[in-house]
Structure 1
Amino acid sequence: MKLTVINALVVFCWCSLRIFALPDDIFIGGLFNSHDEEQALAFQYAVESVNADKLLLPRSRLHGRIVNLTSDDSYHAAKRVCSLLLDGVAAIFGPQTDNTANHVQSICDAMEVPHIETRWNVNEVRNSYSINLHPYPPSLSRAYRDILEKLQWTHFVILYENNESLVRVQSLMKNASWNFVLRKLDESGDYRPMLKEIRLSPINNIVIDVSRDKIYEVFRQGALVGLMTDYYLYFVTNLDLYLINLEPFSESGANITGIQLVDPQDGDVQRLVEEFKRGELRYGHSLPMDYMISTDAALIYDSVELFASALTALEYSHQVDISKLYCEGDKTWQHGTSLINYMKMVPLKGISGLLKFNDDGFRADFELDILEMDKGLLKKVGRWTQRGGANFTRSWAETVQVKEKNLRNKTLIVCIALTKPYTMEKQSTEMLTGNDKYEGFCIDLVKKIAELEGFKVKFMVTPDGMYGNIDNKTGEWNGIVKQLLDQKADLGIVDFTITYQREEAVDFTMPFMNLGISIIYKKPQKKSPSLFSFMSPFSVDVWIYMATAYLGVSVLLFILARIAPNEWDNPHPCIQDPDELENSISLSNAFWFTIGSLMQQGSDIAPKAVSTRVVAGIWWFFTLIMISSYTANLAAFLTVERMDSPIESADDLAKQTKIKYGCKMGGSTYSFFQESNIPTYKKMWQAMSTASPSVFTESNDKGVERVQKSGGMYAFLMESVSIEYEVERKCDLMQIGGLLDSKSYGIALPPGSPHTSIISGAILKLKESGELHKLKERWWKGKTPCQSEASATKSSGAAELGLANVGGVFVVLIGGMAIAGLMAICEFMWNARELATDESASFCDELSSEVRFILKCSGNTKPVRKKTPSTPEEPLFTYGSYGANYGYSQRKQ
């Protein structure tokens, strides 16, 4: 009885465990084409891995049935799928081709059997019983766009293989701010004609969207036509770029960027690869020693793991049975819906990243590694995520270090044009070859940069001798710019002005020299001294004002002396009671006193009254300033050499027609005047462009030569630093005026050159260390025959002193005279008041009497007014104040 109860309990427990259980054997089908051997192998390993994992399907065993499809025949594929369903499979994996996959999907939807895909599928509508582990195409296309935006690509070529490629890169074509060109690969396999067209175009950025087996061939044929150089940047959309052997292109300098979903350096991936290698003989496959799993194989492996995880989760909620299904019948699998929903809901970390799906069964949320080629190997430099977009982990400093590393020990071709003192051929009795043939400021500059950054240079002279100008009719460039655009040179250096047009065509480093347009003209002859050159320190206006001041002060001094009582003295000191008083400041004496002060000689006349002394003091101050200014400016006029130059600036040139002027044909100065909207420069351009004979020259040297031979009838417009060089060596020339504009010289490089930032950094270092200044001093002033004369020529001489310079002195003079006049009037009024009091007369009568005496302006004597004593004993004395025309007062007897 006890045994029976125990047996019953065991049976009950066993039955309870089997209520929510899976069958012991679960079958899945895998459809693979004949060229999908690696995916079939991954499918088999995934099944074995699930069976070996005790956490996945712990009470069941997974069996994989592989069906090899020999052709892209949808009818044949349908029959094989129906055969698998008849055997009772729980899911169908694959195939990879579109036609058969779509047919298989329709059958699985009808039978409600999960259909698991790992292929790229442009169809944005997912059926209910289908799930795809391949990254969602719109999200993948967005990743392309984000990465190119981070790389700052705006112009590029898209190389594509078929229409499916166009769908993949459609987001790149929808960006209105980008300019792109589409180029399809030739089906014959010869891509060189098309790649040559790209080589001749100005675009250096190339997007490659082709199948994995054609990537290497595109690079190989690109190298044959010159597309694998430092100046070309590639972005490969294929997720299997890490499987391509890029070692042959490691020294090309080409910048190759790609993406990957599977990281071959990840520990889980490497362990899986090792398992593949250990079990290869068991399945009849032979894997190479450097084998790396492809993205498609990794997705197949993850799809089986995902299916097993979902099935395990389903086991704990459902009693799952797997029955045979007939394609011709109407019976469906009841657990198909639940299983596919579990696959969408259960996140799983696979070797291709996190397996996460949206409600439509698309894998929209995934992450990609951004790769760049470095010495033939791909290295991770960033990461793309659905939310964060593209982010490069390598810092700017690390990027520069990589570029500097790639530049070291390379030989760069430097294109030059012969122009003094920038690039010249050495004058030597020996036969010179190679870089030894050339010397100059730019030659030394490039050599110092090369020494600083560790690369080598080879100089070449541009065939046409031109710097670089565009033909407006053909749109073709010439000179150094053409050599750079054709990538026949890596650098271009001379007195190369950075202009907008050139900047649009090629890249420029930061400027190594700043300058502007100026005028070179023949030094005028020495000016013959004028007979009245001693008058030059003051302008005519100042001389006139000084003469007027002299006359005014002299007359005012005379009038104030007659008004001031203290200026009337006893002419005979021995006579105590004189009959007349005398004034020593007559009109002639006033003129003599002021002229004596002006000439710093003085006189015997000495003012006594406060008013006259104020006038004298102010006049002395005035003469002190004026004579000091005159003396100082006269010394400058006598010691500074005066030149008689007919022009002093560009405005002077524009206002006259006698002296012709021009510039170098087709140069930056030529373009400046041609495109200028400033009225003065437009007028100058009109005069230059219509002049006959032509005022333009083929080179700056010929323009300078023309100035020397013109006898002062021709001026040449060129860069100021070139003018400095010429006037240091040609003593009969000089620079006129200031700078007409502001510009800079830079080193030109092909567009998109990776060396631009490195060369700019080297120039900055040379500036900070003072090497650039030393180079200029060496080539501009190191070998000059007339440096001292040129320095003297630069001095413009002392300028005339205008009224604005000495006007304050006149203000002080006028103010002093006004004060003196006011004081004289006060003295006069006070004296009249005292006389009126003493004589018991009215103030007005006394005032009018004194005024009449002053206005007579004749005679220098004045009778003494005597006071009558009040008592007989009071003595007679001289009155302290003086009247006019009163006669003598007598004491009454």
Structure 2
Amino acid sequence: MEKTRGAILLLLLVADFGFGAAQNATTGEAHGFHVGVILDLGSPVGKGARTSVLLAVQDFYAAHQNYSTKLVLHIRDSMGSNVRAASAAIELLKDYKVQAIIGPQKSSEAVFISNLGNVTQVPIVSFTATSPSLTSDSMPYFLRATLNDSAQVKSIASLVQAYGWREVVAVYEDTDYGRDILPYLIYVLQEIDVRVPYRSVIPLAATSETILQELNGLIARQTRVFIVHMSSTMTTLLFMKAKELGMMNKGFVWIITNGVANIIDSLNPSVLQAMNGVLGVRYYVPRSQELDDLSIRWNRMYQQDNPDASPFNKLNIVGLWGYDTTWVLAQAAENVGISSARNKQPWYIKNSTCLESMDISIKGHKLLTSIVQNKFRGLSGDFDLTDGRQLKVSVFQIINVVGRGWREIGFWNVKSGLSRELKQDYFKKTGPASMPDLNPVIWPGESTEKPMGWEIPTDGKKLRVGVYSSENPEFIKTYKDPVTKATTASGLSVDIFEEAVKRLPFPVSYDYIEFDTGDTATSGSYNDFVYQVYLQEYDIAVADTTIRYNRTLYVDFTVPYTESGVGMIVPVKENLNMDMWLFLRPLSTAMWFGSIIFFMYTGFVVWLLEYLKDNEHDPFSLEQLAITIFSIFEEKEELKHFLARIVLRVWRVVLLVLAASYTASFASMLTVQQLSPTVTDVHELQKNGEYVGFHQGSFVEGLLLGIDFDASKIRGYATPDDFYSALSNGSIAALVDEVPYIKLFLAKYNKGYTMVGPIYKSAGFAFALPKNSPLRAELSRAILNITGGETIIQFEKKWIGQNSHENDGTLDGSGAITFESFGGLFLLTGIVTTCSPLVAVLMRRYKKQQENAENKGDGQNESGPGQEKEKMEEQGDQNSNGQGLELMKSQTTLSMNACTHPR
């Protein structure tokens, strides 16, 4: 075997020597600029990169025939070994005095070789080493003519966020290339609240059995979103085995990074068929005629150099980066030129002999600077190494593997994020499900429905549902069969949980596991129960468990399924109405003042209307006004103006309704039994040194102690019967408990007790799940569906009962008639009262205009009848009986006759 490898190396040296000699023979006056090339020529990427570099040299010097320098390539095969790559680099630097090295192909190989470049000041330019650990700070002579792997993590995170997945599994190979991206990927996922609960590490020497074993472990987990970051060889094997296990069916999500997505066109069609439905992130290269022409020539050269290679290998972005890198290096070589002077400064290393004769390049720094500063538009896009000696992040293309090829579903760039079209400068979501604005995706299993990203394991494993028997069996009570040892449960909490599971969009099987504790009366028992979820003893905890801040530190809760808050159960007392000012209570203060103001306003308007009717006589007296205003059913004083009578009648309607309401309210206050709570403030109990009860095992004890309640004044009770006994015999003045328990108590003992509060806030009862459990969102939606309909009412009637939760007596309250309740009537009388004087003034003015018009017509007539008429009017005014009127009529008749028949 060693002889064979030695023969291969000898053949490579001979071939390399022949290639260099051929180049020197054809360059004429051009001076050779020696450059080393280290690639894994047994891999599809290495083969394609070699073709790109050779083709770039041909094209460059065909376009620049007058250049005085020409690259002389010394190609070495690393065979995928770090040791062979390092050995090849030492050989190139020592024996061939190379001025630069293109490569190596792998990130792990670049670590040692870049150190050699730092010492010899020879630039190392790699267009395939993408590990983020290769930084320009520690490797000043290392140039990355490609993207850092960390540049793509934000695009992957945006894709995960766009589809609403909450958990992903990272699948990567156990190499520097696979491991180094993990910190960056996990960081950006944590920023959008996405968990990585498991990392699947595939050994570099993994066999088919190893991969099958790891994939079986992934199937047993809930998460169904996998981000794959491996080499093309490992990725091919992974997806072939995943298809065998049924992991390329509906419900699974696979996302490949740009390491494989960039060379997706070079994969075997059978591999692409196994990858159907996979999403990928790849570097975007715009199409052009120059690129199409290069692809044709590249394919021809590749087939000539590799006649036994796969015919499916095509020019990809890696080949384009190699092509542009060679152009940049050739241009830099021309700028720097050839120098025969070399400073030979031995690099001494202890116990080392092969490295002592390596020289330091005189123009290495100048060559490095020329490469970095040479910015141009290459076939791969903008070639610019000024930012950290590596290519800048540009645009990523989101692809979907379909059939034997792929289709574009969108783009991602730094400024605008995800978008369907490259021209869009923003990311928007459309549709009822807030789907991302991307082209439709064909998911694994040829499904067009977006996967949830998780599901209950299909290996027959059931959910472990922990249940905790409460002292209030109406909420939850557990039973264990003595023969089968199977646990069953019943109660309001159990009914809601089982109904929520039925409404999930997928089937779920589960087993109840009873929480076993030696002392269920301890205050921390509920905390211990919830903590079992954190310890992964349960997949979900079902009980009358309250959402508390300290519990949310290690578990998540669904939305509450009960009312929230903490209140008090207190006895009620009867109020005797002995107040001498009780007659004022039927009307509120605003009602009293409003009624008085409207009374005065109405009286003033009535007086004004009567005054306007006839202001030459005695005005309407205040005594008459008061009698008229307060007379509801009849008028004690006759009103002359008809508008005044209208105003008064409207006011009487208001007064009648107000008097009837007052009478009813006052009668109720005198006859109905009034009940009020004995205490309304927990601080009053604390001040008076009263004893207070609470529900054992509840957080209420800590709540009372938190407000400096005397611990000796706090007493714990287990059941509603214990509560009732303690309240009845006066052991405690009040019971502080959560609202659901108070409702249960009042359903049984609703006579003589009532609820005060809520006096404190609380979130209510809910189910506990592990942190970031994908089941939480689905269960919460199902619970909201239950609590928002008739189902929760039926459950509460079943377990809590249909009895009234209120006391039979009427609790004391103000009950006063407010001004707002009579607003309509007061508005009506106000409008009528305000408009009446205005109408009266207009009518009076109109009447005066009519009288003036009549007087003017009479003044134009100078005959006697006019004087006689005035005399008759004066006589009529002096005559106070009916005879005066008769005399006036007769005189008028005589005067008219005299005018008609003059003597």
TM-score range, shorter chain: 0.5 to 0.7
Q: Tell whether the 8 Å contact from 1:122 to 1:167 is kept in structure 2 after alignment.
A: no
**Counterparts of residues 400-415 of structure 1 (less than 5 Å):** 404=452, 406-407=454-455, 412-415=463-466
Rounded to whole Å, the distance in 2 between the matches of 1:507 and 1:127 is 46
Which position in structure 2 is the counterpart of 1:760?
780
Local SS of the residue matching 1:757: helix
1:68-89 CA distance string (max 9 Å, x none): 4777389843553158748x99
Letter in 2 for 1:263: A
Local SS of the residue matching 2:553: helix
1:160-217 CA distance string (max 9 Å, x none): 9899999878889999x999xxxxxxxxxxxxxxxxxxxxxx9965696989739999
- Return closer, same or farther for 1:285/1:307 CA change in 2, 3 Å cut-off: same
- Return closer, same or farther for 1:53/1:269 CA change in 2, 3 Å cut-off: farther
How far apart are residue 663 of structure 1 and its match?
A: 0.7
Whether 1:41 and 2:47 are equivalent positions in the alignment is yes
Which position in structure 1 is the counterpart of 2:75?
65
Local SS of the residue matching 1:480: helix
- Return closer, same or farther for 1:126/1:340 CA change in 2, 3 Å cut-off: farther
- Return closer, same or farther for 1:466/1:780 CA change in 2, 3 Å cut-off: farther
Which of the residues 94, 113, 132 maps onto 2:104?
94
- Return closer, same or farther for 1:445/1:332 CA change in 2, 3 Å cut-off: closer
Which position in structure 2 is the counterpart of 1:440?
492
Which position in structure 1 is the counterpart of 2:505?
453
Which position in structure 2 is the counterpart of 1:304?
322
Local SS of the residue matching 1:737: strand
- Return closer, same or farther for 1:538/1:362 CA change in 2, 3 Å cut-off: same
- Return closer, same or farther for 1:424/1:768 CA change in 2, 3 Å cut-off: closer
How far apart are residue 722 of structure 1 and its match?
A: 1.8
Which position in structure 1 is the counterpart of 2:706?
675
Which position in structure 2 is the counterpart of 1:184?
none
Q: How many residues align?
A: 639
Which position in structure 2 is the counterpart of 1:718?
737
Which position in structure 1 is the counterpart of 2:843?
none
Letter in 2 for 1:245: L
Q: CA RMSD in A?
A: 7.0
Letter in 2 for 1:462: F
Q: Tell whether the 8 Å contact from 2:211 to 2:238 is kept in structure 1 after alignment.
A: no
**Counterparts of residues 229-628 of structure 1 (less than 5 Å):** 229-230=221-222, 245=238, 247=242, 259-263=257-261, 266-267=264-265, 301-307=319-325, 309-310=327-328, 337=367, 341=371, 344-350=374-380, 355-358=383-386, 361-366=389-394, 385=413, 397-398=434-435, 404=452, 406-407=454-455, 412-419=463-470, 420=472, 423-425=475-477, 437-458=489-510, 459-464=512-517, 478-521=527-570, 539-541=579-581
Rounded to whole Å, the distance in 2 between the matches of 1:490 and 1:713 is 40
Which position in structure 2 is the counterpart of 1:744?
763
Q: Tell whether the 8 Å contact from 1:323 to 1:333 is kept in structure 2 after alignment.
A: no
Local SS of the residue matching 2:753: strand
- Return closer, same or farther for 1:252/1:728 CA change in 2, 3 Å cut-off: farther
1:793-832 CA distance string (max 9 Å, x none): 2632687999x9xxxxxxxxxxxxxxxxxxxxxxxxxxxx
- Return closer, same or farther for 1:415/1:102 CA change in 2, 3 Å cut-off: same
1:409-432 CA distance string (max 9 Å, x none): 975443332334664348999999
How far apart are residue 695 of structure 1 and its match?
A: 0.9
How far apart are residue 712 of structure 1 and its match?
A: 6.8
Rounded to whole Å, the distance in 2 between the matches of 1:502 and 1:32 is 56
Percent pairwise identity: 11
**Counterparts of residues 720-869 of structure 1 (less than 5 Å):** 720-731=739-750, 734-745=753-764, 746-781=766-801, 784=802, 787=803, 791-793=806-808, 795-796=810-811
Rounded to whole Å, the distance in 1 between the matches of 2:723 and 2:78 is 84
Q: Which moved more, 1:498-507 or 1:645-654?
A: 645-654
- Return closer, same or farther for 1:520/1:623 CA change in 2, 3 Å cut-off: same
How far apart are residue 719 of structure 1 and its match?
A: 1.4
Rounded to whole Å, the distance in 2 between the matches of 1:417 and 1:334 is 74
Rounded to whole Å, the distance in 2 between the matches of 1:428 and 1:207 is 35
Rounded to whole Å, the distance in 2 between the matches of 1:158 and 1:47 is 32
Rounded to whole Å, the distance in 1 between the matches of 2:498 and 2:82 is 63
Q: Tell whether the 8 Å contact from 2:117 to 2:142 is kept in structure 1 after alignment.
A: yes
State the TM-score, normalized to the length of structure 1: 0.52
Rounded to whole Å, the distance in 2 between the matches of 1:331 and 1:165 is 34
Q: Tell whether the 8 Å contact from 1:383 to 1:393 is kept in structure 2 after alignment.
A: no
Which position in structure 2 is the counterpart of 1:891?
none
Letter in 1 for 2:114: N
Letter in 1 for 2:324: L
Whether 1:690 and 2:715 are equivalent positions in the alignment is no
**Computing the radius of gyration over CA atoms, which structure comes out larger, 1 or 2?**
1
Which position in structure 2 is the counterpart of 1:13?
none
Which position in structure 2 is the counterpart of 1:846?
none
- Return closer, same or farther for 1:733/1:430 CA change in 2, 3 Å cut-off: farther
How far apart are residue 300 of structure 1 and its match?
A: 6.0
1:606-652 CA distance string (max 9 Å, x none): 9xxxxxxxxxxxxxx999999996775455654x4566975455455
- Return closer, same or farther for 1:624/1:23 CA change in 2, 3 Å cut-off: closer
User: Structure 2: which 5+ residue stretches go unaligned?
Assistant: 1-24, 273-297, 345-356, 420-425, 437-447, 586-635, 637-653, 820-903
Q: Which moved more, 1:142-151 or 1:256-265?
A: 142-151
1:378-401 CA distance string (max 9 Å, x none): 999997645567999795744998
1:844-868 CA distance string (max 9 Å, x none): xxxxxxxxxxxxxxxxxxxxxxxxx
Local SS of the residue matching 1:443: helix
Which position in structure 2 is the counterpart of 1:653?
685
1:319-377 CA distance string (max 9 Å, x none): 99999999989999999959964994343354xx865422764223355679999xxxx
Rounded to whole Å, the distance in 2 between the matches of 1:285 and 1:334 is 39
Which position in structure 2 is the counterpart of 1:31?
38
Letter in 1 for 2:685: L
How far apart are residue 517 of structure 1 and its match?
A: 1.7
- Return closer, same or farther for 1:127/1:769 CA change in 2, 3 Å cut-off: closer
Rounded to whole Å, the distance in 2 between the matches of 1:254 and 1:231 is 9
Q: Tell whether the 8 Å contact from 1:408 to 1:453 is kept in structure 2 after alignment.
A: no
User: Structure 1: which 5+ residue stretches go unaligned?
Assistant: 1-17, 180-201, 528-532, 546-605, 607-620, 677-681, 805-893
How far apart are residue 754 of structure 1 and its match?
A: 2.0
Rounded to whole Å, the distance in 1 between the matches of 2:683 and 2:101 is 90
1:667-716 CA distance string (max 9 Å, x none): 2322322324xxxxx4xx22xx123xx6123x354643543663675532
Letter in 1 for 2:757: G
